[in-house]
Amino acid sequence: MSDCKSVATPFATDIQLVKDDGSKSVDHTPYQSNVGSLLYASTATRPDIAHSVGVLSKFNSMPTQTHLTAAKRVLRYLKGTMDYGITFNKTDTQPVGYSDANWAENDESRHSISGNVFMSSSGPISWFSKRQSTIALSSTEAEYIAAFEAAKEAAWLRQLFVDITRETLPPIVLRIDNQSAISIANNTNVSKRSKHMDIKYHYIRQEVQNHNIVTEYCPTDDMIADIFTKPLPKIRFEKVRVMLNVG
Domain boundaries, the chain: 1-85, 96-243
Band (pLDDT 50/70/90 cuts) for residue 195 is low
What does pTM read for this prediction? 0.92
Predicted confidence (pLDDT) per residue in 44-80, tens digit: 999 999 999 999 999 999 999 999 999 999 999 999 9
Q: What is the pLDDT of residue 222?
A: 97
Q: What is the pLDDT of residue 47?
A: 98
Outline where 139-233 has alpha helix (H). Answer: 139-165, 179-186, 203-209
- What number of other Cβ atoms are within 10 A of residue 201's Cβ? 20
Give the residue from 231, 236, 242, 241 showing the smallest Cα distance to 11: 231
Q: What's the CATH number for 96-243? A: 3.30.420.10
- What number of other Cβ atoms are within 10 A of residue 77's Cβ? 21
Q: What is the pLDDT of residue 32?
A: 96
Q: What is the pLDDT of residue 191?
A: 60
